[in-house]
Amino acid sequence: MKPNKKHKDSVFSTLFNNPDTLRELYSAIEGITIPPDMPIGINTLTDVLIKEKINDLSFTIDNRLVVLIEHQSTISENLPLRLLEYIGKIYGKIVSSKRRYHSKLVKIPRPEFIVLYNGNDPFSDYKKLHLSDAFMDVQGLKLSESDKLPLELIAHVYNINQGHNPEILKKSITLDSYSHLISKIWEYRNSGLILEEALELAIKYCVENNILRDFLKKHGSEVYSMLYDEYRIEDEIAVIKEEVREERDRTIAKNALAEGYAPESVQRITGLSLEEIAKL
């Protein structure tokens, strides 16, 4: 298989970009049942110029609830800020500019923010991320610190890797199958296989074991291209992070040596080898 350089979507967004799978996914996460006749309206943001999705999934349920779901292989503490940007744009789509200036209150769907994590690093089953954690200290600029926050956004993060949140996965066949696919990719990659081999073997395994078989057989090359793009970017980010970490450790080591710390102490602090410390 060869990656299609023109592909801009993700496997996750493609799998769940229809009302039935969204109904299944949301019902599994919330532990409720969304009736099949309840309308689901998809309003995922797209850049019209390059035809690329801006957020992963957003949809309304019965025009009363608007749900944003982001799929992440790494968790950023800045996710609430990004979700705040997305929800503003989505409300702009839902409510016309003319209605926004009406004197009478315009009712809008209540928002809900969900993040699904399936990266390779250990992560808890569930975690909340608060926008307010990013707010700067305003002590001395306000008369009262007891006021309620004028703005808050809470993102609910769920680990969907195999072995985590089984009660959610067993209620959504699509999500569980997707989790199996990603699990096999990580398994092959952690065994030392290059990205291309890991993707091909993972897709082959899933087809042979009836995991997303129809989807993979129908969209095989597109799925490979989407996964290739996603994990190639992850590799590049990992390399950058490692380079930054190594440069940080060398800086700490130089400062510690200049202050008279013994090489063995510097090694414990930074994790650098004694050979590397000797060069410094």
Q: What is the pLDDT of residues 223-245, one digit of tens each?
A: 898 888 887 766 555 555 666 77
Confidence (pLDDT) at 19:
95
Yes or no: say if 66 and 109 are a contact pair by the CB < 8 Å rule: yes
**In 3D, which of 164, 206, 167 has the Cα closest to residue 188?**
206
211 is written with which tokens? Answer: 């995991």
Measured distance CA(222)–CA(190) in Å, rounded: 24
The alpha carbon dihedral of 161, 162, 163, 166 has a sign of: positive
User: Which of 160 and 246 is assigned the larger pLDDT?
Assistant: 160
| Residue-by-residue DSSP string for 35-101 | -TTS-EEE---EETTTTEESSSEEEEETTTEEEEEEEESS--TTHHHHHHHHHHHHHHHHS-HHHHT
Question: Is residue 7's pLDDT more than 50?
Answer: no
Residue 170 identity:
K
Measured distance CA(259)–CA(84) in Å, rounded: 45
The dihedral region occupied by 212, where left means phi > 0, alpha psi between -120 and 50, and beta the remainder, is: left
CB atoms within 10 A of CB 68: 24
Confidence (pLDDT) at 51:
54
The pLDDT confidence band at residue 5, using thresholds 50, 70 and 90, is very low
Mean pLDDT (the chain) is 87
Question: Is residue 177's pLDDT more than 80?
Answer: yes
Chain-centroid distance of CA 12 in Å reads 10
Could you tell me the pTM of the whole model?
0.78
Confidence (pLDDT) at 48:
56
Confidence (pLDDT) at 208:
95
Phi, psi at residue 143, to the nearest 5°? -75, -30
Yes or no: say if 128 and 113 are a contact pair by the CB < 8 Å rule: no
Beta-bridge mates of residue 201: none
Confidence (pLDDT) at 4:
44
- Give residue-wise pLDDT tens across range 24-74: 999 999 999 999 999 999 999 887 554 567 889 999 999 999 999 999 988
133 is written with which tokens? Answer: 């954690």
Least-confidence region, from 93-102, 158-167, 205-214: 93-102
Residue with tokens 């992850």: 234
CB atoms within 10 A of CB 17: 17
Beta-bridge mates of residue 155: 113, 129
Confidence (pLDDT) at 112:
97
